[in-house]
Structure 1
Amino acid sequence: MRNTITTRLTAVLAAVVVAVTGSIVFAAPASATTIVGPAKAGTWLHPGDSITSRNGQFQLVMQGDGNLVEYGIGRKVLWASSTTRAPGSSAVVNPDGRITIVQNGKLIARWGVAGRVGKQLQLGADGAITSLDTAGGIVWQAATFQDQVAAGSVIASGTVLRSDASNARRLTMQGDGNLVQTVNGAVVWSSRTGGHPGAWAAVQTDGNLVVYGTDQKPLWASNTSRAGAGQLLVQVDANVVLYGKTDTRVWSTRKVTGLLWPVKSTKISGKYNDDRGAGHVPRYHQGTDAAVGTGTPVYASGAGKVTSTVANNPSYGNYVVVTYGMTTVLTAHLSKIEVKQGQIVSTGSEIAKSGNTGQSTGPHVHVEVRQGGTLVDPLKTLHFR
């Protein structure tokens, strides 16, 4: 029965992906075993073996290099065991619910707490990896999630995307055919395509987001087919945004209000792309400098996620990077960092104090903005408070 289900689901997903992208997402060695749905306690995953979520979107693969890796939509890596130094290892779903990686009988890594009776290891509709005991309790969980779907990918029926590890901001391709965005459990947007069980969504390479019925006829579209291949992002600012090939926003579920300057000051001491003269590396200024005294509060530019906090960098001194959708804002030369990596912040969140650390000739805040990884002029992106 399992082999029949595996073959049937694989064929359906392959047909869907081929229809949209012209390629198959998952590929495994001919001799590898793929388990669709939960893996029972006592299951071994040898090199090449994998567990796939019931919606076919998430796959946990025991790789030949010894790494146990979860791949999401579009083969995006969501989690890894970081055991590549043990090639040929196998993963075991133990009878006590713990997950182990062993190489020739030697324990390499282990997750979970002993003293339970294990039942199964499963990949949820949102990509979360969970080991359960016979009472339904969680023995171990990697609260993985996917917030970004690249062009050329399918969002299958039953799939849940999340902006972060919490359940506060979700986009769900429901089983009834409706694509629904929820914030704290409340529906804030939907494609209004309910009544079409099994419908699925496609982030197309032409820039269009489309909900298709099982007959592959479109039920709803963003009408952005001229935008080119980009990506769909479920953001921590409670917006779902479709970006085009130039990483520009082409469609969103909610109105975008823009990002703010990180300090309450309009004084500028150095502008973007200023020629700083020979000997400076880089010679042309990569950001804009806010002329404020040491200890001035530095704020988040909007609702975003702290993606980096670094202390004592030779050039930037202490600095913080916050990501807002496809835009990142770096503030540097700080005297104090007040947030942690992974922290969710909002417009009024104080993230640091200004300073004079690193290669700095006087107290100020250096501000760098990147859109899709490309440097842009901060004063053309951020608005003064």
Structure 2
Amino acid sequence: MVRRLLAGVLAVGTLLGGAVLVGSGPAEATTVAVSDTLLPGQKLMAGQYIRSRNGVYTLIMDTRGEAKLYQRGVSWRLWSSGTWRAGSVLVMGTDGTLQMIYGRTKFWSMSIKSAGAKLVLPDNGNLAIYNTRGKANWNRHMVIGTLMPQSQIHAPDPEGREVIMYSVNRIYTLKFLTTGNLVLYRNGTTVLWSTGKKTSPESYGSVGPDGTFYNFNDFGDITWMYETRRPGSVLQLTDDGHLLMVNGRTIVKTFV
């Protein structure tokens, strides 16, 4: 174990479960993370991070309860969990899903169940969950099955922040085109549904805490929305191609 005093930080950097406890952001970290990996059962608490071996990319858990991926020398984040609950912990679950937990409550998860899978931040910055066979079940450009509140799907942009939503069986995809049109495809070619919006490049979409599914342009203006009026609703893409707004066990809206 190595302990080093961080300049400008009140706490001492401590190696905990493959992660390093540092200040509130990558700019304050003067030590290099000893690991680029979260193994099953390991976690990141506020101020802890993992870093790619080349030192370019850092995944850090902030004090608001949001996990953020940064690239050295770049001010914007490449990816974030979209979760805002102070005191939360990011956990690499033993079931293979990446989870955000507050107290004893799991309120956010990503990937598919695959016992023994681990989270890895490689030198190219493509944060991913690998199963025991070395195959990626998820990476930062994917949402699988369910879009949790505040998480995003994103159109292609110069910063490489594209995020596509997939059904668990990978047959159906929901993605923004460069025009801002949100389109549901079967097998990547057959269009099943779209918002029809075609003048909003670099768009992104998320479900708000109020249960509304919003689409925004690159200026942050709302271009399309569906309001459930049911806080806690999520967007789901099922293995039979249905795109749904769901609240608990209730289907609030079927788009297709």
TM-score (norm 1): 0.32
TM-score (norm 2): 0.47
More helix per residue: 1
Higher RCO, Cα 8 Å, sep 6+: 2
For the pair shown, the structure with the greater C-alpha radius of gyration is: 1
